[in-house]
Structure 1
């Protein structure tokens, strides 16, 4: 059950918007391979502004994600792609709806 999450906001460097978007899309397979990550979303908030939202059942899953491949790759490319460091906020899931088929 989703209990906690992460909300990460990212602002692309001018001229790097397409690269930032492509980078976020390329992380999807990495997220799928993380056992503790229940849901993972890469989102576009507006021109040059992006986000990542993911959910976890427990702190162990969230910590594994924060030290996993996506975090390592993001850290390695952050200065190249983003104008400011990623803003990472730990959040609690208060309510959600089940996936609809």
Structure 2
């Protein structure tokens, strides 16, 4: 059961919105390959604001994701794509349907 989550907010540099959207779409296979990640969503919140929301059964799954390929790839492209560092929040899920 999903008990934990992460919410990452990403702000694209001006003119890099589509590149960030494409990066997030292309990250899906990496998320699928993570056994501890139950659900993974890439989302667009506003014209230049994007996010990732993912859920986990336990802290081990969440930690594995935080140390996995998606954060590494995002870090490698952060200077090119992001206006500010990502804001990553650890979340405890209270109810899930």
Q: In structure 2, what is the equivalent of residue 44 of structure 1?
A: 44
In the alignment, the residues of structure 2 paired with residue 89 and residue 15 of structure 1 have an alpha-carbon distance, to the nearest angstrom, of: 26
Q: In structure 1, what is the equivalent of residue 20 of structure 2?
A: 20
Deviation at 1:79, TM superposition (A): 1.2
In the alignment, the residues of structure 1 paired with residue 12 and residue 69 of structure 2 have an alpha-carbon distance, to the nearest angstrom, of: 20
Deviation at 1:11, TM superposition (A): 0.4
Q: In structure 2, what is the equivalent of residue 4 of structure 1?
A: 4
Q: In structure 2, what is the equivalent of residue 94 of structure 1?
A: 94
Deviation at 1:72, TM superposition (A): 0.5
In the alignment, the residues of structure 1 paired with residue 79 and residue 93 of structure 2 have an alpha-carbon distance, to the nearest angstrom, of: 30
For the residue of structure 1 that corresponds to 2:72, the secondary structure is: helix
In the alignment, the residues of structure 2 paired with residue 80 and residue 59 of structure 1 have an alpha-carbon distance, to the nearest angstrom, of: 31
Q: In structure 2, what is the equivalent of residue 83 of structure 1?
A: 83
- Where structure 2 has 5 or more consecutive residues not aligned to the other structure, the ranges are none
In the alignment, the residues of structure 2 paired with residue 19 and residue 89 of structure 1 have an alpha-carbon distance, to the nearest angstrom, of: 23
When the two chains are superposed, the root-mean-square deviation of aligned CA atoms in Å is 0.4
In the superposition, the TM-score normalised over structure 2's length comes to: 0.99
The number of residues matched between the two structures is 97
The list of structure 1 runs, each at least 4 consecutive aligned residues, that deviate by more than 4 angstroms after superposition, is: none
